[in-house]
Structure 1
Amino acid sequence: MFHSVTRRLAVAGGAGLLAVALATSAPAQAQPANQQRQQDFTSAAKEFGVPLDVLLGVSYLESRWDYNAGTPSTAAGYGPMHLTDLRTAGVVTSEFDQSGEDPRGDDARPALHPKPTQQQTVDQAAALLHTDAATLRTDPKQNIRGGAALLAEYQRKLGVRSEDAKDWYGAVAAYSGSEDVTAAQTFADEVYATIAGGETRTTDDGQAVTLAATPGVTPDRAQAERLGLKANAPPATECPKSVACESVPAPYQELPGGDYGNHDIANRPQSQKIDTIVIHDTEGYWDDALTLAQDPTYLAWHYTVRSQDGLIAQHVPTKDVGWHAGNWYVNAKSIGVEHEGFAAQGTWYTEAMYRSSAKLVGYLAKRYGVPLDRAHIIGHDNVPGTTPATIPGMHWDPGPYWDWSHYFDLLGAPIKATGRAGSSMVTIAPKFAANQPVFTGCDKIGSGTPCAARGSEAVVLHTAPDTASPLLSDAGLHGTGASTMDVSDVGSRVATGQQYAVAGRQGGWTAIWYLGQKGWLPSNTVVPASGLVATPKPGKPTIPVYGRAFPEASAYPAGITPQALAPMPYTFAAGQTYSVGGVVPSEYYSATTFDVSDHVVVRGKTKYVEVQFGHRVEYVNLDDVVLKPAF
């Protein structure tokens, strides 16, 4: 191009020469700032001979094209291409190592005392680009180049020469990092589904990226079989067919001294209705989580979802009771789903994980009739303590960086307005990317060090309609002291999708009832909702709230010790209202011995109402409240 322009200039004369010269020397039009990432993908695809839609599709399934402030994912992946660096990213531990909480959550049995306890793709990419790992972690453009170089290397090893996206299935499957062919194919299938349907979005750092739809693309799935991965036989699992799922059974085993682990045999839903699914993160990596789930002296949950590719492992049949929520009433009526990663130390979850988890949870919810709402699809951070003494030890995963809005979009139940303007109930619905509370302690709980700025599902409450006003107090966590901005402190925080009764409005602020107080939040973080609210019956100045819905003492048969109901240290006073999640039966699953024949479900006549009382749900006696529609 340069030589042809020079020749034209040489033969031009007078004004024509000047005009051509001026036109040639004029600077090229500047690239719009929000188009830089799109251009980076285009340039990297061309440089390494990777089809652009393949590069965009892989990146979308890893990071949704986000930069995430240069922080690692929950699987130690960095940047838009999720280049993994375990050496730099993480601490290996487990979710239950950070407190003295008993994950089983049953006073009738001695508390558990859990023992403390992938590829470096960034190095591979650095070697291909002749650069260093730090550059690939921190520079989005170079990160994209690194991912493109890896895809091209995987394609070279397969010996396939083609510019057609359909011929890159094997390279995409290899990029998943999966060790078995089914998981690799599931990852690749999701990438190609994304290519077929197309995507467009603005990233967390304001970049506009588009993957044009290519309907009808039919990849060569047989390429994945040439990667030398394990070919596992279809396992006996309870998973939808659209995910990769393996069986990693947890042992139900008798231990010395009459103890046993690490879950309970039951017969749900015949014995008890499953009405809740609890979302956790492992606070550790995949291999460690699976090792712990197979330890008879530890504890077990139902499923674990892997971050890098969305592979699911089932540990406990859904008919049985896992020890995961720290509240025996919740355990007995729930399914626990763990997600590889960290609530703070690694602060974003891959799209592969979100999609796989949503498919699993959607399948389970349909199978057991669990409503797709935030009163029934809850985080571990929403599970109440069983007694006042256990509140400080309750968990706060999956943390304020789990994108509940996106997750419910994937579940097919988007979080949106369901009530009229001015309704007496609201749903928490901030814009995830733009909502960036400045939490502290992501490096170490209680350090006071500000976390990196990033999108969050959490909205912080204040005592007045002013960001400078104090946070609310949580008597269970802090006594009479105020809550803090520590990333683990849920004492003055609400979560996306939760519903609360309105306590007032002023200017651009809305107040909600929260732990017996008025909590103020910006009105642009909520949408109108409809549903039921609970308020104390006339003549009752206050009513007790409980962390579990156990039967009255007279319901227990001989030989089974009645479980005490300990009121929480909160006040539900006349004039206050709280959103209702449902009316639930009083039940206690007595399962304190290894002998299943001794297990009994105790059912009482008392009924309870699940209310969204604070960040966590609580229960109130149905006889103490009036239920009425929000208006």
Structure 2
Amino acid sequence: MQTNGWATPPSMLSRRDFIKMSGAGVAGAALLGVLSTSNALAQASPAVSSEVGAASKEHGVPTKLLLAMGYVSSRWEMPPPRFGDFNPGDIHGTSGYGVLGLSADPKNDTLSRASELTGIPEEELKTDRAANVEGAAAVLSALQGSEKPKDVNGWYDAVAKFGGGALYANEVYEVLRDGASAETSSGRVTIEPQPEAEPRDQYTFQAAGDYPNSTWYGAYSGNYTNASRPGSNPINKVIVHVMQGSFSSAINWFKDPRAGVSCHYNVRSSDGFIGQSVREEDIAWHAGNWEYNQTSVGIEHEGYISDPSWFTDAMYHSSAKLTAYLCKKYKIPIDRDHIIGHNEVPGCSGTGGGSGCHTDPGKHWNWSRYMDLVKSYANAETQRSKPEYRQVIDNGHTRRFKASGKWSVSSWNSQRFREDYRYTKPLNVEDPAMFKVRIPSRDVYVVQARWPADSGYSGRVTFRIRTANGWVSRTVSQRERGDRWNTLGRFEMPAGDGWWVRISSKSKSSGYIIADAVRILKK
């Protein structure tokens, strides 16, 4: 029976029985048949395995789905409960408690619903990992309803409702598809790739941000002030923030009319991907100090100040490049008087920065390293219009492109790059077209692809790109955006020379799959 989007959960174990089960270890979970059904769970630490296994068994939720949700929300570390409070008007006011991010947001109050479903007090759900996992599993199960599909893709809508929208769900399903690993205080949690997992929204070519390597998301118009900086107000500072949450939670919060806050840029932990929420010319409400808001650009970083594992190489490098770009563009001195943390903004009556007394980016943020990177990038050719490194590989390059005889050659479409291109109908077996790329040094690179477009081509073509953290996928439509370079993303890539960009021969869409050319740029 459905009530306001919730479904009646299955019968549940008592709280005492659940705790016994989750403390029984891997062997106890295996007796319930949990480990035999999930490669993902088998790679988790014993403590996490037992907790996820018990919750999965009790509520009929896929173990691998819970693991991916925990990775996106917290990297499987329990954040301090104070970071989970729902607080409109605070830049970090979006709610999310525990490893699964149970929310006290009145619009999506998964915390109170978890307590209702399990009988566990809300305070325990906030502070106890096993309780938090059980509560989240119960909520997800209720959102899914009585039908519990074996196909993990059948849970997409429930995951989106749990996490506040498609952006969260797509992050979860990208982790499922590509796999992930995190070293936690309880041991390593590794999620093996689940190739069958599909983010619902295919990769779209969103509007570009002001910074060339950013993607535009936008914010609610009532969460920032329209301006025409630097004409109306000088821009002379960069302020570093930490989200106290996930990338999707920050993007969604700045779009929420209730937030009353925003930030210009947001940097993702795993790959340094940058999303822009407010134009540089406008005044974002991020510092808790009006004078500083008027004269600064704010940069949010995914993660929690209590957990240094969020501050990855990819994040440091990507953010430093952005800050170097801003400093050169607005002639901001590259020093600690002009590149500051949120905790250094005046206005707090006690310890911390701004009117909200914030302490981010915290003691784990490596200022010395960050400033060295900013200075290095500001002085490097990467800030010029000409890329530092560029490689173009056409399908006609016999030593750097290969495909089987199932990929035919054609020059019919005039939007082609150079002489011809390869094409195939969708196949039942994986037989990819492959491009051999040379990466001179480990760093962040832009990967682009080109194809001729036609209405008779496939609407879902999957590119696979090998990154420093494993293979990732981007799905595009080849019915549009022909005769141009299309950016698939920015990825940290290892040094080497290999067949690291591939086009899948499989597709759930009708029409020809095209392999034409790819380009690698280091900017």
Normalised TM-score (structure 2): 0.44
Look at both structures and tell me which one has the larger radius of gyration over its CA atoms: 1
